[in-house]
């Protein structure tokens, strides 16, 4: 696959090609020198002979021999301190660069870019050039990776906005110019408020604007590891951002209904034999059940509390959190976040043990041979089925509910 | 500091939601626009000053809250509300959902007309604060995303205004004098009506200082400004710019029709007025952005229309005549006043908007009604003459409707859903009352009621110092009606109003959509559609239905235009039945209203595979799906049409979950991948559409495919209700039809199906079969299939397109049929003991076994039944009477039902022995353990039966011996000499033994695997035993191979004959004469037909029965333990004793009986080896079954295996 | 009763001297022939003089106090105004509102959700100046008025103290509740078995501290409060250390160990560590 043969189709129409090439801009994050070199090599391989615009904040680069890339170094105006995920500053930078270079579309790549395969680069570019407004990468992950995404981000985004991308927070995105402008506008509000690290939800923004969204297979990829914070802090940050976004887009998602078909199937990298050690997670959950019960009871309705009680008494090997229960828990936390039932920091902290319980349940289920992706899809269906609950409570936030 | 404290504080937090960063959703959407404006700004000469709103049409989506600074909150304790107080309550307004605050005049004024008599246009009345306070308030409101509207009273000033003071003194004709309208006579403009009829006698008042009359349309202390003087306009514009520069977003132009006077007219709405308004608007458009003017023109709608101009005069105008008519409609319980006035309401330019209100600071004005209507309104709403003032009624909302919460809610729902911007009057959100003993219209201008503290929390001052007393009566008094109390009451009017406002704000259609009235026959129902088509092609349609009556009302709405759409109730997001061509019927409770959002029918993605965990969800899905399919017309529905398109898809989606609920479905541990309908046969004359036998192909994720038989019928009305009540578990799907929901359910619950099955056998007739593909192709199905969204078609659809010839179903009866059937009608019912097949009983004579899982080929039960009845004449079975076969296109028969004679019995052997056991345990409960528990049944030893056993279990032993004899006789009968190759007895060969051994091998492997997987679910003790068993894996394999051990083994293994195959106590019936009848020669249902029809050693049956005795002993013990737990612990040895002795008795009697035929049974050691192997196999089979179905019973076969002799 | 008492006293008077009481007995040279009226006048003038003197001492103090207070209130208002303008200009609210500090330092919003941070800061500045004015005024008053009227001297600061004490009390309560919840959630997520005790402990520690501070501030009980607090606090610490050292050493060490073991797993691991068992939440 990885040979550098030039596609005759591309080289035979140089005119059309340059016109197109002026359109696409690849925006790279700050990378260590060797990763950057590897990435440039990949890009050269993916787009042989095309004078592609590549922007990097890392200064002037020597290109691999025979490369036709045009590397444009720049100094970012806003720098994000969280290189593991695309943040507001990245979108602002990307749009500025696209404008400056008169690009028609942007390929916004996240950290550890060198691990992105040549095929993935090509298919991302192809989708972007097919006038898709937002192209989202779909990665192949192991069954024990990307769990927050599987547990919360994906089902919630899918159920609320009716859009299917499996990774709402994918680090590799293709943006049309108008999508980039829209995201930059939204991001501008954060960067102006000196929050260059704020998360954006491109998928939700695109759905809100009625833009086309496409998902492309990106294969396996090393996802940049989150920096610094512990699980609790990260979950609080990401879920908090998602919940706030849900709050801000209420008028839209309460009317979004039709689900877009999913074209890409996520491939799960088969797990290794050793069953997951879920005991610590269960311990956390049990401990939290005895200690955080009164906080939860401010947030969750009695039926969910009963479900948790049963869970807390379940033997470890029969520990299964029903999908419907998890969906309802997440929805009730979104509602509590909106209503400020309790301090938002505390609220998200109280979600962590529940999330761990879900993870434990999910891993145990996977260990019995259920395909993880299948369970996630079922889970997403459960979220969809329970969406009316969220909408009705959102509209009528009565405490007297099931 | 306890949990209650926490809840309290959390509530407070919850109500304090704020759009700190994100603002409201609409402003986010319109942000780029603002940026563009700013970017172009540097090229402009004149920069427009934009208001706080980002959308120029913001007023269309606004919720306006009208309040008087004086009446809202007092911060300095002087008894008069002020801006400081107002600012402290902004959070409250924000949480209420208000987006625009309309302040009544707060300018310096002698306050003789509630501030509308202004003495200085560009300052703040010192009682309310300072200009700076106003600025602070403005900023605070803008920070919260709220706009501010103030009054621009340009028709008149106070007589204390410096202009008027100067005008009085200035000589006639001077510019100062000409600021006002002067005349030497009071006859000028004669005939112009007087507005404040109660206080004013003329529109002219004599001024002594000026020695002239001055013109005033309102109070005599409010001289009208003279707009014919250009200086007046200049001054007005200066005042207006003063406020707009400060950031005020909207202006309400007071009394605008009266600006200009012309002789010979009624001095209202004269054309020059519009010139003046256009002038004002031009200034606003030229210098400011996103500002609004609202006209107060108390006129008929057609007269108000000119104030919108061509979108170049006022942005908004009040719709005055609507207000009294809403009240009139409510009182008359008739929608006509409302629809009538709306019909008179002209179209307005696209950028204009009506302002709607229920109540305001003035009286409920009755100027814009006919005389009759006015009289009616007076009689209806002002019982006390004190409530009337001028031409109106001075009351608040709640007292007007007798403080009826439902009426208040109904009126508010109209306010919030009618085309226009709702304007709420302060205090009405909590249902405040009024004080009719205060003069003028001050009864509705009392202080806002915040809490039950002094002065209702409005002010800390001495109550006597308040500008007006707070309302204190027992119904509306501040102790009862106040914000604090309603905030803490989740069911209060305040919460209701807040939720409704929030809901309205979610839907732009309310502010911007069109209005169409539906005219249902019932005039007590007001129904209308609001519709908004957006530029991006999406649309919002909302249907509002309101019951104006105090009683429940039915109505049916003509919604043909929206056929196929799904209404969703908006308050609770509740899906309503879909709209069809027929009138849409709704029933409304008293004064209730419905807001329904009409949504396009949802498309459901059916491509998801369903796993058992998802089964529950699948039912939900299927239900939703069912609602999505178009309505069926039952009269014309046949299966062929039903089984195309969406209904087929929903049936196939609902099936997995349905099957899992059915006892007869045997593959519960497998994961269903797809289910599709192979074909079906319609039964003659059973219902419309006739009940039919369906054949389903079920494929599992492990690659296996099974065929199941499922009779289905469709019912509506009372039939459906009966099914719903009697057999809810048999319902597969609810389908919406024109006649209400139809149930698709298992048709064995129908009498006519059962009868037509019997008549098929009786008449030996046959039925044609149909399949979806042929039907679909006949009906040009490709179109209907492709009409479905691509993903909704299950993958199996592709396969279905291969046409294949259909088979037939035919009945056959045996010679014994007529004798047993007799004549006369037979009452049919389904058997209560649902097993893997379903039995139908006919009048206590016949029993039909309807097979569920079908296996190609003849069913062994029918085959053996026929052989034993016709050939061997074995008496101890149920007589075989007939069968139903499905003959495939290849001529291969598959038995789908078997008919037998019903045998008089006292229950099956299982029940009988359990009864015996219950007695046995009761009698031995108090006895010490048996001295000898006997030995396991064996061919090898001839142990005597212990005396303990004979003492307590004599009846059981005797019965077991008889059963042994009968069993032996059955085996002899099966070994009857015959030429039929299917039945002729054969000798064992080495291969046969190998097959047996391999079969046992497989059984060991699969059972142990399942055991390993299921280990986690087992209870502690059982899990220990299971672990022990798992550890003996190798030993078990060795035992299986013991039967193939010797070379001569095959020869010494006796004969192979057809056998019962699944022999246990449940398969024998105890007859009244203490004998037995043997049933069910079907074999183990889990095995293939070929396997079941194989000839095998009769010892296999013996092993089955011996295991059954073991089951009986222990489940009897369990049952006993449940009633008397204390005594049961020591009974384990007795159970063992019972099992051993009874088994031994059975085995002994059996072997004596079969020894009649030489060679049938091998020598004792060989027989024992075989028996052990079969026992092992049987117990493993049981173990697997229990693991999959009844984990609590696992310990019985487990104990059995562990107890087997090594 | 009253009667008999009187009798008794009369009797005593007579008994102790045996003759009518004379002023000369007290050793002071007294102009006996000075008139009565003069005596009264002089007494009055003297006392008036004394009071006036006191007043003369007192007044500058009061004036100083009032001036200081007024001045600093003015300065405070000015400062608050400037602060507000500056903060609004630099969009302080937006920055604080959702800054990255939110997970570490609790949001300002959470503390006083009904006020924007700008208003909060401006108000704090304003009241700070007022307080400063108060303090300066009082100290000026103090130095100006060194008279002997201890009551006035005591009462004035006492009033300010009680206001401070009230503030302290409320702030302490708020902090105690907030910290208790934070600690509870944090401890649970860190899998500390004794999360609830920790949370309760923190809450009561803060409450006890608050109470001690309030009492100390009010200057009630003096040294006793400090002593008592010291003893209580020391006791708590000692008890805890004893508990860790002896009884619950096992528990504590186990939970600590577990925490240490889990650390690499709870935190999303680096790609290198991702080989086998680990979980990635992101």
Question: B617: which chain A residues are within 8 Å (Cβ-Cβ)?
Answer: 323-324, 378, 381-382, 385
Do A227 and A285 reside in the same domain of the chain?
Answer: no
Give the count of Cβ contacts less than 8 A between chain B and C: 15
Chain B residues 619-648 with CB within 8 Å of chain A:
620-621, 624
Residue range of the domain that includes A115: 8-253
Question: A363: which chain C residues are within 8 Å (Cβ-Cβ)?
Answer: 279
Look at the alpha carbons of B1054, B1060, B1061, B1067 in this order and tell me if their dihedral is positive or negative: negative
Task: Dump the DSSP string for B319-346.
Answer: -TTHHHHHHHHHHHT-SHHHHHHHHTPP
Is residue B1154 within 8 A of residue B968, CB to CB? The reply is yes
**Closest-approach residue (CA) in chain B for A314:** B1017
Rounded to whole angstroms, how far apart are CA atoms A353 and C192? Answer: 13
Is residue A259 within 8 A of residue B605, CB to CB? The reply is yes
Do A244 and A167 reside in the same domain of the chain?
Answer: yes
Interface contact flag, C282 A350, Cβ < 8 Å = no
Interface contact flag, B611 A388, Cβ < 8 Å = no
Angle formed by the axes of helices C223-245 and C195-218, nearest 10°? 160
* pLDDT value at residue B37: 38
Phi and psi, residue B682, nearest 5°:
-85, 135
Interface contact flag, A381 B608, Cβ < 8 Å = yes
Question: A341: which chain C residues are within 8 Å (Cβ-Cβ)?
Answer: none
Do A230 and A283 reside in the same domain of the chain?
Answer: no
For residue A392, give Cα distances in angstroms to A108, B177, B189. Answer: 38, 63, 60
Choose among B253, B249, B237, B274: nearest CA to B56.
B249
Do A249 and A283 reside in the same domain of the chain?
Answer: no
Do A92 and A198 reside in the same domain of the chain?
Answer: yes
Establish if B437 touches chain C: CB-CB under 8 angstroms. Answer: no
To the nearest whole Å, the CA of C104 is away from the closest chain A CA by 9
To the nearest whole Å, the CA of B782 is away from the closest chain A CA by 22
In a domain, A208, yes or no: yes
In a domain, A273, yes or no: no
In a domain, A233, yes or no: yes
Question: B91: which chain C residues are within 8 Å (Cβ-Cβ)?
Answer: 114
Interface contact flag, C93 B91, Cβ < 8 Å = no
Interface contact flag, B621 A324, Cβ < 8 Å = no
* pLDDT value at residue A16: 40
**Closest-approach residue (CA) in chain A for B609:** A374
Question: A225: which chain C residues are within 8 Å (Cβ-Cβ)?
Answer: 268-271
To the nearest whole Å, the CA of C277 is away from the closest chain A CA by 7
For chain C, list residues whose CB is within 8 angstroms of any CB belonging to chain A: 91, 94-95, 97-100, 102-103, 106-107, 110, 113, 178, 181-182, 184-189, 191, 193, 195-196, 199, 258, 262, 265-271, 276-282
Question: B490: which chain A residues are within 8 Å (Cβ-Cβ)?
Answer: 398-400
List active site positions of B: 254, 296
| Rg (alpha carbons) of chain A, rounded to whole number | 22
DSSP helix/strand/coil, C270? coil
**Closest-approach residue (CA) in chain C for A296:** C185
Chains in contact with chain A (at least 3 beta-carbon pairs closer than 8 A): B, C
In tens, the pLDDT along A120-133 reads 888 888 888 888 89
pLDDT bucket at C254, cuts 50 / 70 / 90: low
- DSSP category for residue B1071: -
Do A243 and A311 reside in the same domain of the chain?
Answer: no
Establish if B21 touches chain C: CB-CB under 8 angstroms. Answer: yes
Question: C199: which chain A residues are within 8 Å (Cβ-Cβ)?
Answer: 291
Interface contact flag, B14 A317, Cβ < 8 Å = no
Do A89 and A167 reside in the same domain of the chain?
Answer: yes
In a domain, A374, yes or no: yes
Chain B residues 540-599 with CB within 8 Å of chain A:
540, 570-575, 597, 599
Interface contact flag, B143 C113, Cβ < 8 Å = no
Between 3.40.50, 1.10.286, 1.10.287, 1.10.357, what CATH number should domain C150-266 receive? Answer: 1.10.287
Rounded to whole angstroms, how far apart are CA atoms B1190 and C4? Answer: 103
Rounded to whole angstroms, how far apart are CA atoms B843 and B824? Answer: 10
Q: Looking at the predicted complex, does its ipTM rise above 0.95?
A: no
Interface contact flag, A340 B22, Cβ < 8 Å = no
DSSP helix/strand/coil, B1153? helix
Do A127 and A15 reside in the same domain of the chain?
Answer: yes
Chain B residues 380-419 with CB within 8 Å of chain C:
none
Angle formed by the axes of helices C249-266 and C223-245, nearest 10°? 80
Is residue B343 within 8 A of residue B501, CB to CB? The reply is no
Interface contact flag, B1 C97, Cβ < 8 Å = no
In a domain, A337, yes or no: yes
Exposure b/e, B620-639, CB count within 10 A at least 16 = b: bbbebbbbbbebbebeebeb
In a domain, A268, yes or no: no
Do A141 and A189 reside in the same domain of the chain?
Answer: yes
The CATH number covering residue A33 comes to: 3.90.550.10
Rounded to whole angstroms, how far apart are CA atoms B175 and B171? Answer: 9
Residue B985: partners with Cβ closer than 8 Å, 6 or more residues away: B975, B977, B1055, B1056, B1057, B1095, B1160
* pLDDT value at residue C66: 86
**Closest-approach residue (CA) in chain C for A288:** C188
Do A167 and A25 reside in the same domain of the chain?
Answer: yes
Interface contact flag, B1 C173, Cβ < 8 Å = yes
**Mean predicted lDDT score pLDDT of chain C:** 70
| Rg (alpha carbons) of chain B, rounded to whole number | 45
Do A238 and A360 reside in the same domain of the chain?
Answer: no
- Checking if the pLDDT of C115 tops 70, the result is no
Question: C97: which chain A residues are within 8 Å (Cβ-Cβ)?
Answer: 193
Torsion of CA A93, A94, A96, A100, to 10 degrees: 130
* pLDDT value at residue B354: 95
Do A229 and A312 reside in the same domain of the chain?
Answer: no
Could you give the domains of chain B? 1-155+229-506 (3.20.20.80), 159-224 (3.90.400.10), 522-599 (2.60.40.1180), 612-747+772-800 (no CATH), 808-901 (3.30.200), 909-924+942-1066+1106-1203 (3.90.1200.10)
Question: A148: which chain C residues are within 8 Å (Cβ-Cβ)?
Answer: 281-282
Place of tokens 């959950």: A285
Interface contact flag, A259 B605, Cβ < 8 Å = yes
- Can you give the residue ranges of every domain in chain C? 47-148, 150-266
State which residues of chain B have pLDDT below 70.
1-47, 602-638, 640-646, 668-669, 685-688, 736-740, 772-806, 832-834, 943, 1045-1051, 1205-1206
Rounded to whole angstroms, how far apart are CA atoms C141 and C66? Answer: 9
Interface contact flag, B21 C114, Cβ < 8 Å = no
**Closest-approach residue (CA) in chain B for C95:** B21
Q: What is the largest CA-CA distance in chain C?
A: 116
To the nearest whole Å, the CA of A134 is away from the closest chain C CA by 22
pLDDT in tens for each of the 402 residues of chain A? 444 443 334 333 434 444 444 578 888 888 888 888 888 888 888 888 777 888 888 777 777 677 778 888 888 777 777 778 888 888 988 898 888 888 888 999 888 888 888 888 888 888 888 888 999 998 888 888 889 999 999 999 999 998 888 899 888 999 999 999 999 998 888 888 778 888 889 999 998 888 888 888 888 888 888 876 788 888 988 999 999 999 989 888 887 666 655 555 566 666 666 777 888 899 889 999 988 988 999 999 998 999 999 899 888 888 889 999 999 999 999 999 988 888 888 999 999 999 999 999 998 888 887 888 888 988 998 998 888 889 988 988 877 777
Domain count, chain A: 2
In tens, the pLDDT along A296-342 reads 999 999 989 999 998 998 888 888 899 999 999 999 999 999 888 88
In a domain, A263, yes or no: no
Interface contact flag, B571 A395, Cβ < 8 Å = yes
SS3 sequence of B735-750 = EEECCEEEEEEEHHHC
């Amino acid at each position: 696959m990885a040979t550098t043969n030039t596609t005759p189709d591309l080289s035979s129409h140089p005119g059309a090609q340059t016109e197109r090439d002026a359109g696409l801009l690849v925006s790279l994050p700050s990378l260590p020198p060797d990763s950057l070199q590897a990435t440039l090599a990949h890009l050269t391989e993916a787009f042989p002979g095309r004078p592609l615009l590549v922007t990097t904040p890392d200064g002037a680069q020597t290109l691999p021999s025979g490369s036709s890339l045009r590397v444009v170094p720049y100094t970012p105006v806003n720098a994000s301190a969280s290189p593991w995920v695309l943040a507001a500053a990245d979108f602002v930078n990307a749009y500025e660069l696209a404008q400056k270079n008169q690009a028609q579309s942007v390929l916004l790549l996240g950290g550890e870019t060198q691990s992105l395969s040549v095929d993935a680069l090509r298919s991302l570019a192809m989708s972007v050039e097919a006038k898709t407004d937002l192209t989202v990468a779909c990665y192949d992950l192991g069954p024990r990776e990307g769990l927050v995404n599987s547990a919360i981000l994906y089902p919630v985004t899918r159920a609320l906005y009716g859009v299917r991308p499996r990774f709402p927070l994918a680090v590799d995105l293709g943006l049309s110019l108008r999508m980039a402008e829209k995201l930059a506008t939204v991001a501008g509000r954060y960067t102006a408020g000196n929050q260059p690290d704020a998360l954006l939800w491109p998928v939700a923004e695109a759905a809100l604007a009625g833009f086309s969204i496409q998902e492309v297979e990106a294969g396996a990829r090393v996802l940049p590891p989150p920096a610094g914070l512990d699980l609790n802090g990260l979950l609080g940050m990401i879920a908090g951002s998602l919940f706030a976004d849900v709050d801000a887009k209420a008028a839209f998602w309460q009317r979004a209904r039709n689900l877009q078909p999913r074209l890409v199937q996520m491939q799960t990298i088969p797990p290794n034999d050793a069953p997951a050690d879920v005991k610590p997670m269960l311990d956390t959950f049990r401990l939290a059940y005895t200690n955080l019960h009164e906080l939860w009871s401010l947030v969750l309705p009695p039926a969910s509390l009963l479900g948790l009680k049963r869970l807390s008494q379940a033997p470890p090997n029969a520990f299964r959190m029903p999908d419907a229960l998890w969906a309802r828990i997440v929805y009730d936390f979104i509602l509590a976040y909106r209503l400020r039932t309790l301090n938002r920091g505390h609220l998200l902290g109280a979600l962590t043990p529940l999330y761990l319980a879900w993870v434990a349940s999910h891993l145990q289920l996977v260990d019995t041979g259920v395909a993880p992706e299948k369970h996630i899809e079922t889970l997403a269906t459960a979220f969809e089925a329970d969406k009316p609950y969220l909408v009705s409570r959102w509209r009528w936030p009565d405490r007297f509910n099931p | 500091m306890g949990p209650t404290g926490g809840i309290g504080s959390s509530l407070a937090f919850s109500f304090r939601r704020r759009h700190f960063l994100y603002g409201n959703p609409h402003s986010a959407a319109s942000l780029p626009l603002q940026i563009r404006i700013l970017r172009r700004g540097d090229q402009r000469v004149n920069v427009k000053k934009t208001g706080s709103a980002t959308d120029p049409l913001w007023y269309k989506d606004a919720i306006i809250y009208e309040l008087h600074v004086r009446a809202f909150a007092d911060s300095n304790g002087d008894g008069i509300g002020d801006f400081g107080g107002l600012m402290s309550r902004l959070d409250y307004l924000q949480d209420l959902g208000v987006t625009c605050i309309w302040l009544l005049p707060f300018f310096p004024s002698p306050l003789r007309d509630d501030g509308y008599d202004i003495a200085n246009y560009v300052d703040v009345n010192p009682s309310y604060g300072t200009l700076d306070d106003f600025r602070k308030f403005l900023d605070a409101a803008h920070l919260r995303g709220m706009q501010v509207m103030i009054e621009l009273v340009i028709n008149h000033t106070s007589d204390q205004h410096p202009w008027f003071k100067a005008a009085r003194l200035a000589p006639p004709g001077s510019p100062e004098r000409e600021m006002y309208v002067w005349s030497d006579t009071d006859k000028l403009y004669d005939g112009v009506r007087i507005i404040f009829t109660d206080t004013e006698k003329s529109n002219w008042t004599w001024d002594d200082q000026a020695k002239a009359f001055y013109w005033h349309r309102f109070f005599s202390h409010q001289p009208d400004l003279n707009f014919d003087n250009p200086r007046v306009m200049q001054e007005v514009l200066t005042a207006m710019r003063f406020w707009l520069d400060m950031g005020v977003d909207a202006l309400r132009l007071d009394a605008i029709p009266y600006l200009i006077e012309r002789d010979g007219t009624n001095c209202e709405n004269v054309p020059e007025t519009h010139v003046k308004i256009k002038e004002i608007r031009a200034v606003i458009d030229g210098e400011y952005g996103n500002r609004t003017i609202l006209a107060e023109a108390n006129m008929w709608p057609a007269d108000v229309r000119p104030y919108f101009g061509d979108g170049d005069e006022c942005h908004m105008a009040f719709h005055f005549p609507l207000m009294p008519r809403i009240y009139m409609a409510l009182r008359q319980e008739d929608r006509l006043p409302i629809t009538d006035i709306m019909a008179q309401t002209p179209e307005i330019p696209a950028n204009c908007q009506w302002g709607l209100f229920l109540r305001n600071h003035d009286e409920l004005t009755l100027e814009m009604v006919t005389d009759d209507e006015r009289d009616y309104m007076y009689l209806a709403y002002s019982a006390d003459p004190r409530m009337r003032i001028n031409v109106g009624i001075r009351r608040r909302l709640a007292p007007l409707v007798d403080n009826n919460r439902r009426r208040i809610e109904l009126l508010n729902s109209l306010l919030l859903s009618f085309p226009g911007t709702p304007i709420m009057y302060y205090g009405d959100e909590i249902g405040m009352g009024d004080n009719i003993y205060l003069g003028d219209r001050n009864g509705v201008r009392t202080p806002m009621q915040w809490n039950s503290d002094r002065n209702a929390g409005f002010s800390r001052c001495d109550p006597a110092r308040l500008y007006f007393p707070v309302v204190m009566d027992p119904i509306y008094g501040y102790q009862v009606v106040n914000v604090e109390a309603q905030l803490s009451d989740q069911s209060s009017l305040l919460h209701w109003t807040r939720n409704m406002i929030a809901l309205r704000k979610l839907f732009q259609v309310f502010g911007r959509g069109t209005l169409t009235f539906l005219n249902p026959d019932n005039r007590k129902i007001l129904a209308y559609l609001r519709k908004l088509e957006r530029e991006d092609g999406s649309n919002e349609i909302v249907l509002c239905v309101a019951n104006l009556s105090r009683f429940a009302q039915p109505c049916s709405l003509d919604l043909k235009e929206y056929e196929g759409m799904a209404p969703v109730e908006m308050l609770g997001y509740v899906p309503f039945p879909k709209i069809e061509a027929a009138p849409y019927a709704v029933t409304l409770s008293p004064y209730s209203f419905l807001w329904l959002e009409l949504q396009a029918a949802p498309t459901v993605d059916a491509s998801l595979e369903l796993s058992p965990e998802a089964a529950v969800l699948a039912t939900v899905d299927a239900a939703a799906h069912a609602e999505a399919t178009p309505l069926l017309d039952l009269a014309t529905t046949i299966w062929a049409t039903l089984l195309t398109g969406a209904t087929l898809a929903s049936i196939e989606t609902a099936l997995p979950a349905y099957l899992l609920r059915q006892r007869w479905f045997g593959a519960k541990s497998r994961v269903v991948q797809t289910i599709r309908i192979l074909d079906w046969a319609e039964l003659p004359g059973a219902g419309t559409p006739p009940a039919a036998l369906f054949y389903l192909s079920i494929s599992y994720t492990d690659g296996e495919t099974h065929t199941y038989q499922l009779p289905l019928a469709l019912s509506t009305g009372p039939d459906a209700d009966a099914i719903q009540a009697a057999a809810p578990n048999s319902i597969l799907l609810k389908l919406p039809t024109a006649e209400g929901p139809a149930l698709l359910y298992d048709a064995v619950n129908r009498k006519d199906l059962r009868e037509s099955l019997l008549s098929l056998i009786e008449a030996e007739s046959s039925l044609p079969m149909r399949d979806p593909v042929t039907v679909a192709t006949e009906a040009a199905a490709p179109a209907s299939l492709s009409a479905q969204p691509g993903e909704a078609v299950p993958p199996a659809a592709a396969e279905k397109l291969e046409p294949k010839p259909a088979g037939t179903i035919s009945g056959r009866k045996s010679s014994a049929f007529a004798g047993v059937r007799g004549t006369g009608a037979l009452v049919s019912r389904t058997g209560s003991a649902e097993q893997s097949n379903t039995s139908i009983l006919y009048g206590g004579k016949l029993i039909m076994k309807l097979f569920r899982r079908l296996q190609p080929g003849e069913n062994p039960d029918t085959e053996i039944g026929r052989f034993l009845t016709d050939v061997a004449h074995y008496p101890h079975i149920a007589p075989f009477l007939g069968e139903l076969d499905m003959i495939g296109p290849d001529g291969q028969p598959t038995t789908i039902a078997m008919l037998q004679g019903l045998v008089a019995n006292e229950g099956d052997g299982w029940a009988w022995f359990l009864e015996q056991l219950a007695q046995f345990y009761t009698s031995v409960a108090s006895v010490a353990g048996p001295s000898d528990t006997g030995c396991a049944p064996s061919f090898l030893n001839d142990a005597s039966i212990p005396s303990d056993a004979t003492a307590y279990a004599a009846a059981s032993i005797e019965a077991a011996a008889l059963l042994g004899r009968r069993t032996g006789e059955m085996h002899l009968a099966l070994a009857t000499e015959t030429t039929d190759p299917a039945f002729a007895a054969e000798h064992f060969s080495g291969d046969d033994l190998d097959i047996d051994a391999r079969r046992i091998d497989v059984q060991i492997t699969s059972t142990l695997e399942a055991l390993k997987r299921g280990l986690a679910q087992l209870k502690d003790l059982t899990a220990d035993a299971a672990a022990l068993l798992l550890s003996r894996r190798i030993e078990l394999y060795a035992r299986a191979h013991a039967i193939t051990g010797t070379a001569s083994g095959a020869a010494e293994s006796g004969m192979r004959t057809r056998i019962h195959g699944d022999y246990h106590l449940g398969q024998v019936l105890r007859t009244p004469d203490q004998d037995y009848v043997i049933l069910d020669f079907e074999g183990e249902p889990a095995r293939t037909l070929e396997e079941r029809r194989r000839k095998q050693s009769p010892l296999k049956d013996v092993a089955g029965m011996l295991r059954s005795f073991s089951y009986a002993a222990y489940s009897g013990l369990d049952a006993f333990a449940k009633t008397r737990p204390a005594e049961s612990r020591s009974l384990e040895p007795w159970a063992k004793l019972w099992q051993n002795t009874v088994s031994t008795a059975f085995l002994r009697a059996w072997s004596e009986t079969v020894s009649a035929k030489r060679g049938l049974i091998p020598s004792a050691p060989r027989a024992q080896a075989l028996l052990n192997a079969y026992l092992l196999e049987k117990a493993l089979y049981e173990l697997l079954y229990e693991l999959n179905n009844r984990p609590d019973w696992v310990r019985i076969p487990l104990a059995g295996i562990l107890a087997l002799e090594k | 009763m009253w009667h008999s008492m009187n009798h008794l006293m009369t009797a005593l008077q007579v008994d102790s001297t045996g003759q009518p009481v004379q002023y000369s007995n007290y050793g002071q040279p007294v102009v006996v022939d000075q008139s009565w009226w003069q005596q009264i006048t002089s007494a009055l003038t003297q006392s008036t003089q004394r009071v006036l003197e006191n007043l003369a001492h007192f007044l500058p103090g009061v004036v100083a106090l009032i001036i200081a207070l007024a001045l600093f209130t003015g300065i405070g208002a000015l400062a608050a105004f400037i602060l507000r303008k500056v903060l609004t200009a630099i969009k302080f609210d937006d920055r604080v509102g959702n800054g990255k500090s939110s997970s570490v330092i609790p949001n300002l919003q959470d503390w006083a959700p009904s006020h924007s941070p700008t208003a909060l800061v401006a108000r704090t500045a304003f009241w700070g100046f007022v307080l400063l004015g108060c303090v300066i005024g009082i100290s000026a008053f103090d130095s100006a008025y060194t008279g002997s009227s201890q009551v006035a001297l005591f009462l004035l600061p006492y009033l300010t103290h009680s206001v401070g004490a009230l503030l302290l009390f409320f702030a302490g309560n708020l902090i105690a509740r907030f910290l208790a919840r934070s600690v509870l959630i944090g401890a649970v997520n860190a899998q500390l078995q004794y999360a609830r005790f920790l949370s309760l402990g923190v809450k009561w520690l803060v409450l006890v501290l608050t109470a001690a501070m309030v009492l100390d501030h009010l200057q009630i009980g003096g040294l006793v409060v400090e002593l008592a607090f010291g003893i209580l606090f020391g006791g708590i610490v000692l008890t805890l250390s004893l508990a860790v050292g002896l009884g619950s050493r096992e528990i504590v060490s186990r939970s600590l160990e577990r925490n240490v073991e889990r650390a690499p797993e709870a935190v999303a691991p680096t790609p290198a560590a991702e080989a086998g068992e680990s979980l990635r939440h992101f």
